[in-house]
Structure 1
């Protein structure tokens, strides 16, 4: 918030208006970019970003101060065109005498529903999705484009198809062949929508890249995009008319680039479209990450990937045609392109679309649009919510109604728990439900969404012990509010049909609450990066893909803790430090190879601050100011955003490893402690101290890895030894009761020897000599062993008949009195069911795993009906048993055990209301509900929709 004193509004034509304006600019630069203000002459012709370091977020603050002090409302287009204070002064003069129009309170417009609420579930490509909607409701509004004023342009499904068809015909007429890539560098608007679908209909592959924020930056911007165009092998570039002349300079750098065109030109030249057949596994588009990438990585998104992700997200978020999505997100970003546009296209809900510049110029417009159009869905990075908290005054929010906004999705950059809480608290007064605030996790390599939390719960924040987490990666819970604690936001469970895991450096899956590399797999996962097999192989681990994020799992949900490779996310843009460090290090006056670029959390903006730490011998104040300006220009050229802070430090300030690599995380800690440039110990002492710390950390990692390996060897050797002796003894013992008692003791002894404590509750319910049916969740191969260790010898297990024919397992199970059931032959299955009923009548209690199988994924799966039908017909009590912790000790598909406690809880007994099928179903549902109450795992049935 501005700290300028409130004064009488000044007319822009009045004497002193220019000085007044420059005073506002100077004060803003001094507060937000002090390194740029140090000794810098700020004049009417100073360039806002290059000379003064004012990026898009800083301009938001400058705009609000100018409007308040001059009592004007600046045109939103000025946000993209103004480069100097002189441009701002001219705009102020043009506004002289124009009355300030305050934001009008509009009545929310309810969006009419569609009689056909279902989605195109059989569609295999994005084009088939559009065809499906055109056949059913061609005139229905698909997108409302908001301009600078209050007017909105409605685009229906048929209009989208017709506009795209004209563009597609024009592309084919100019020689576009199936599978060729076409780059799309257009701002949010009708041309982008028609252009993207036109490329698809013509048989091409769209490559959306972000347009320049300001037209004055076109030349620099195009130079940064050349690497992406070359990697994609783009044959054509569709862009705005202002960029076409300069874009022609790219042709020598991009040999594949033949044409640079506009949408209107293509549509005018179009004739008849030639249909191009497309399949589900064909590329839908290439998604390049924004920012400086060094080696561009274009994520290959197929139509199958895209539709699988849309369907999974729709199931998780329970979207329907009645929803309304209000978005200002850029169309070149996956959250805006897929989450907003393609999500609305697939499910048929209305998309209210505004320019990112409109939001940055006036954040209140976003909330006003949600109010006016009855928005139920919207998404943004964390910085956008912070912007609404810090820049919007109460008068701008008068009459605002956010009561229909049911999902406030926060993603695309690190989520700040304070932002979540403060946004919910402030806008509760305007009808926003506190449970609507929803942090989510996704990335381009997963198409978009990867993990979403349960709906209606609100944000969940995990407080963990700082020392334990930083030392060993163990997320040990502490009481909320603990002063020495770290906080991590829950991103939820993997989408239906998708899986998440956390692994160590060797790819071994880690137990819950242990930090490691987050990996994912599922039908939305990309096949890799376009024309970049090395990077594709680096992140691919069998069916799993490495997200390059760090995190841990707890209760089956993901908590992100950081990012690998020191990636910086600044205002939703990815910045890779190495590129900036190399370029800055080449500047004369700086020590080459002694530059560290890192992100530092900024509580004020809710985003990350881009910090450049560079070593220099220079002491002269004027020369140091010149170095800062040069660093600012280089960083701006490479990343599109100026640094938030530039620190010129004496030699040996940038920390390095013993091999000379920049230690960005350690340098960031030094910066955040304010210790950069302070006198230090002798170099040999520093090296010795750093070496000791590195050795301790490495020794700790090696020790933990060696300990885990030794434990796994001990676990399996002990299991093999005890199992062999137990099998032999069971084979020789004459009485079944003796066999069961021996197995019980052997199981308890094994768990004790491998350090797996048993926590049992409710066992007293088994003391009555009553026949009953037990049903337990099935999470691990240890489940049977655990139940053998706990249950009295009067219980018999029910197992699949395939095991009966095995020499080792079958003989052992038969000696224990196991009952076998056929799963595939109906006749044999019915006979087995009769045998189970007879066993109950004879006084034999039975144990079932009604899920029938197990999975590495957390969650209670669907139940088979056998146990419940049997209990209902025999009129015997059914006792659910909750097994917790076994999945953590030994997960399916991961033969690497971990130490951990196992919990066995016997829930209350249940009785069926009668012997009928519906009574058995009701009994099943009661048992599931009881187990879900006691398990720290999700309901897989609910996740599956």
Structure 2
């Protein structure tokens, strides 16, 4: 098949398996950073075809397959086998069996009406044991790495408009939303990434990002398979434990494109060890992408300075912006060209106004550009009037183009509201409302905050109402009291703050309150996999509410920052500077 006729990722992988059969497609590293497995394009394609033959024989095009895997080649094979058959993949992370994370998986199984579950032979028993305790015990659960069909795979005639997978955005227990990504969306976004990063099939890609997350799945795995390049992968757990192994892999395999959320660079600085870094060479790094959470100029400066003597240059940083609703990529810069920054007034920015400042001003804050769009219409809009705003005016970021996904699975009203917005006056286009606030200056996009209440910690999106609901469910003393969770920018990125009402009539002693807060921090951290920096207990009935009784999170945050809430007891690990 010629390049001009290729319409799906299936077409591209088949082409690459034919033309680059002996080229290494995937190299897996273990938790020690040592090579554990490598597969050529011919080998991985054969594994995919074997599984696809079985799936095609036993399931139907359009079925939903929940993918429960830990980091490994098996996930890539299972995901691509689904694509070959026209089965809609639903990638999810898999943690310890007793983790509350499994409750979220149940909600997603219900939401997506999952027809089958794929996992590995090693994890099969564990998943079956969990499944038996759910309402979905009858759902077929199969070990994909040992399945063999009786008939070879035949083309499923997958078209660009067919759904490729559902990307669940929030991990929300109450209202998970599956973004419907089509094959056309996937190929268009893959093309954008290739163009903006200046990739080709000689590019070596690698990293530690979770496979189930859009940045790891599309930005690394599928981009590499689309290009016909080589991909080097390690697990997120391995990175967190030993971030120097990530940098060592970049050196050893001469990786050109790698990166992650802002926190990963801070983590690498904190754990940097010159002895372990001895002999590494980062000069082959072509694009060090930084996205998925607020990008900090000081982090970029600190990382560049710390690793300069190992061949890293500040110009290698590649700030970018994207989301699941646009498949992944929206804006980015130019490799090896220094990204733009603007210094503005902090107080004016909080009021969604841009006033330029000198860097030495006490009220100055540096904003990092997320780059420019390519083949997407990115506009800044007044979120109330829906009128387009001029350069330098802060508004909501709206996006139109072929990478914008099809909507939320099974949620037509939310799809219309979020994916089908129109400008006033209308230009005939439907736009995605991102909920992010920002402005454009000389075609550069600057993200300034979020209109929505999402908390983003270490690249994870968390709805505050989910934290609040978990508190009610996990602690009987808080079952009747209200709470407000919100994010707060600190020197180490965004952190979770919880303000919780408690009835003074319980008469708890300080030691008991300390134990209560410790349990609460542990439960939230375990359930959402993020640390809680602050828990403030306040008297019952004192949390700001609307006239209808709803919690006012933003007002709570304002009062908390000003010290206006009547605190009963609390835990606080944030430095004073974070609250000023």
For normalisation by structure 1, the TM-score amounts to 0.56
SS at match of 1:195: helix
Tell me if structure 1 keeps the 8 A contact 2:438–2:449: yes
Tell me if structure 1 keeps the 8 A contact 2:170–2:463: no
Q: Distance in 1 between matches of 2:255 and 2:349?
A: 40
SS at match of 2:532: coil
- Aligned ranges 1:244-643 → 2 under 5 Å: 244-249=127-132, 251-252=134-135, 254=136, 258-267=139-148, 271-471=151-351, 473-539=352-418, 540-542=420-422, 543-585=430-472, 587-590=475-478, 592-604=480-492, 607-616=493-502, 617=504, 618-632=507-521, 634-636=523-525, 638-643=527-532
Tell me if structure 1 keeps the 8 A contact 2:86–2:164: no
Alignment deviations for residues 286-345 of structure 1 (CA, whole Å, 9 cap, x no partner): 111253352111111111111111111211111112211121111100110001011111
Q: Which residue in 1 is equivalent to 2:47?
A: 163
Tell me if structure 2 keeps the 8 A contact 1:321–1:347: yes
Q: Distance in 2 between matches of 1:166 and 1:563?
A: 45
Alignment deviations for residues 609-649 of structure 1 (CA, whole Å, 9 cap, x no partner): 12221121244224313432443355246524452332222
Alignment deviations for residues 240-294 of structure 1 (CA, whole Å, 9 cap, x no partner): 2243222323651x48x62011113324x55433431111111111111253352
Tell me if structure 2 keeps the 8 A contact 1:293–1:575: no
Which stretch has the larger CA shift, 366-375 or 193-202?
A: 193-202
Tell me if structure 2 keeps the 8 A contact 1:441–1:449: yes
Residue 566 (structure 1) shift: 1.1
SS at match of 2:66: strand
Tell me if structure 1 keeps the 8 A contact 2:31–2:235: no
CA distance 1:353–1:467, change in 2 (3 Å): closer
Which stretch has the larger CA shift, 639-648 or 198-207?
A: 639-648
SS at match of 2:342: strand
Q: How many residues align?
A: 551
Residue 165 (structure 1) shift: 1.5
CA distance 1:290–1:250, change in 2 (3 Å): farther
Q: Distance in 2 between matches of 1:246 and 1:603?
A: 43
CA distance 1:437–1:235, change in 2 (3 Å): same
- Aligned ranges 1:807-826 → 2 under 5 Å: none
Residue 387 (structure 1) shift: 0.2
Q: Distance in 1 between matches of 2:147 and 2:444?
A: 48
CA distance 1:440–1:185, change in 2 (3 Å): same
Q: Distance in 1 between matches of 2:337 and 2:157?
A: 44
Q: Distance in 2 between matches of 1:678 and 1:293?
A: 29
Which stretch has the larger CA shift, 336-345 or 487-496?
A: 487-496
- Aligned ranges 1:880-895 → 2 under 5 Å: none
Residue 231 (structure 1) shift: 0.9
Query: Which stretches in structure 1 are left out of the alignment for 5+ residues?
Result: 1-118, 680-945
Is 2:74 the partner of 1:191? yes
SS at match of 1:565: coil
Tell me if structure 1 keeps the 8 A contact 2:376–2:399: no
Q: Which residue in 1 is equivalent to 2:574?
A: none
CA distance 1:423–1:494, change in 2 (3 Å): same
Q: Distance in 2 between matches of 1:497 and 1:425?
A: 34
Tell me if structure 1 keeps the 8 A contact 2:300–2:314: no
SS at match of 2:476: coil
CA distance 1:678–1:191, change in 2 (3 Å): closer
Alignment deviations for residues 200-232 of structure 1 (CA, whole Å, 9 cap, x no partner): 2233111101111xx2535x2222211111111
Q: Distance in 2 between matches of 1:591 and 1:248?
A: 29
List structure 1 segments (4+ residues) > 6 angstroms apart after TM superposition.
none
Name which one, 1 or 2, has greater alpha-carbon Rg.
1
Q: Distance in 2 between matches of 1:672 and 1:242?
A: 49
Is 2:526 the partner of 1:662? no
Q: Which residue in 2 is equivalent to 1:154?
A: 38
Aligned-pair RMSD on alpha carbons?
A: 2.2
SS at match of 2:98: helix
Q: Distance in 2 between matches of 1:666 and 1:428?
A: 43
- Aligned ranges 1:833-872 → 2 under 5 Å: none
Alignment deviations for residues 895-928 of structure 1 (CA, whole Å, 9 cap, x no partner): xxxxxxxxxxxxxxxxxxxxxxxxxxxxxxxxxx
Tell me if structure 2 keeps the 8 A contact 1:504–1:510: no
Q: Distance in 2 between matches of 1:665 and 1:421?
A: 31
Q: Distance in 1 between matches of 2:528 and 2:4?
A: 40
Tell me if structure 1 keeps the 8 A contact 2:376–2:400: no
Tell me if structure 1 keeps the 8 A contact 2:456–2:462: yes
Q: Distance in 2 between matches of 1:121 and 1:396?
A: 47
Q: Distance in 2 between matches of 1:678 and 1:298?
A: 39
The structure with more helix, counted as a fraction of residues: 1
SS at match of 1:646: strand
The structure with more strand, counted as a fraction of residues: 2
Query: Which stretches in structure 2 are left out of the alignment for 5+ residues?
Result: 423-429, 569-580
Q: Distance in 1 between matches of 2:89 and 2:297?
A: 36
Q: Which residue in 2 is equivalent to 1:874?
A: none
Q: Distance in 1 between matches of 2:173 and 2:407?
A: 16
Tell me if structure 2 keeps the 8 A contact 1:305–1:447: yes
Q: Distance in 2 between matches of 1:154 and 1:591?
A: 51
Is 2:17 the partner of 1:140? no
Alignment deviations for residues 713-738 of structure 1 (CA, whole Å, 9 cap, x no partner): xxxxxxxxxxxxxxxxxxxxxxxxxx
Q: Distance in 1 between matches of 2:394 and 2:435?
A: 13
Tell me if structure 1 keeps the 8 A contact 2:484–2:498: yes
Residue 362 (structure 1) shift: 0.4
Q: Distance in 2 between matches of 1:374 and 1:414?
A: 28
Q: Distance in 1 between matches of 2:134 and 2:478?
A: 34
Residue 654 (structure 1) shift: 3.0
CA distance 1:270–1:216, change in 2 (3 Å): same
Tell me if structure 1 keeps the 8 A contact 2:83–2:164: yes
CA distance 1:571–1:484, change in 2 (3 Å): same
Tell me if structure 2 keeps the 8 A contact 1:591–1:614: no
